[in-house]
Homo-oligomer: A and B are copies of this chain.
């Protein structure tokens, strides 16, 4: 049986509250007493019971991080950053996956693991305005990404601008038949819609007529799905001059298909991605992509979250994270 404050107190010859005071350091404790208590804690290998502390304090020191699918490199890198940054600040992170079931996003927002977590960082896919019944009190929530949700704090990358910039960059290399891969037709993914919008804006600026046959839909944002979609597309369509994939994962699937078909990248077709996952740099050829600082993103999300926990009533806040077009071999001649 694990030692409790009572046991420590008994051994040190003080009251339980004094032990608590030693741990928390807010109420002053005299030197000798503190020393005796610390001795006793060490001797009994005392570890505080966080359930009890959480019950008493109303705070558990745990935040939840909800992502569509930890198996995808993008989610994994975000998770990595959040866990690291959270750990630095003394938080633990509970992971939830929402991918298999979008209603889980709503669930998590409305109940937030029943006080076992103090806050929630949510990377939604389908969540939108209607997500939250107004009037229901939200737990402290920070959203990651493109979602058009105005009821919670948010950290995001400007997808429209980034997609526009990437399309312009492709256009500047002289390529005109620029395809995009990753539009979700059925389930409205906010990121897909915004990136398509940026793409279209850029085409306008480049004086290129919009050609719907260059918009390649893709069921999921995985290399697998991208490979199948692109393969099917190339079976009945000419090869575009450039292919802008809405995530790096899709781009990696696309590179694989192009290579299998003997199409050279970037000579026959340029390929670009989005997210700058770790493997983008080691793709063959290395992948041009939209890069942003995920560590910084995590830090900002955590900052907004802790501030929200401190002030539940404050105004909504949105933080935009800078991005950068990183040109690598997949687009450079």
Give the B-binding residues of A (Cβ under 8 A). Answer: 2, 45, 47-52, 54-55, 60, 62, 69-73, 75-77, 79-81, 83-84, 87, 92-97, 100, 111, 113-116, 136, 222-224, 227, 252-253, 255-256, 259, 278-279, 281-286
Which residues from chain B contact A54 at a C-beta distance below 8 Å? 51, 54, 116
Which residues from chain B contact A255 at a C-beta distance below 8 Å? 282, 284
Given A71-B77, A84-B97, do A51 and B115 touch, yes or no (CB 8 Å)? yes
Asked if B51 contacts A79 (CB within 8 A), the reply is no
Min distance, Cβ A58 to any Cβ of chain B, angstroms? 8
The residue from B94, B114, B282 contacting A49, defined by CB atoms under 8 A apart? B114
Number of copies: 2
* Chain A contact residues: helix, strand, loop or mixed: helix
Asked if B278 contacts A256 (CB within 8 A), the reply is no
Asked if A80 contacts B73 (CB within 8 A), the reply is no
Nearest B-chain residue to A45, judged by Cβ = B136
Which residues from chain B contact A281 at a C-beta distance below 8 Å? 223-224, 256
Having A51-B51, A54-B116, A223-B282, one finds 18 other A-B pairs with CB under 8 Å, namely A47-B115, A48-B114, A49-B115, A50-B113, A51-B54, A51-B60, A51-B116, A70-B79, A71-B80, A73-B279, A83-B95, A83-B97, A84-B100, A92-B96, A224-B282, A256-B281, A256-B284, A259-B285
CA distance A256 to B71 in the complex (A): 22
Which residues from chain B contact A224 at a C-beta distance below 8 Å? 278, 281-282
Which residues from chain B contact A47 at a C-beta distance below 8 Å? 111, 114-115
CA distance A96 to B62 in the complex (A): 12
CA distance A156 to B80 in the complex (A): 24
CA distance A113 to B92 in the complex (A): 9
Min distance, Cβ A66 to any Cβ of chain B, angstroms? 11
Min distance, Cβ A150 to any Cβ of chain B, angstroms? 22
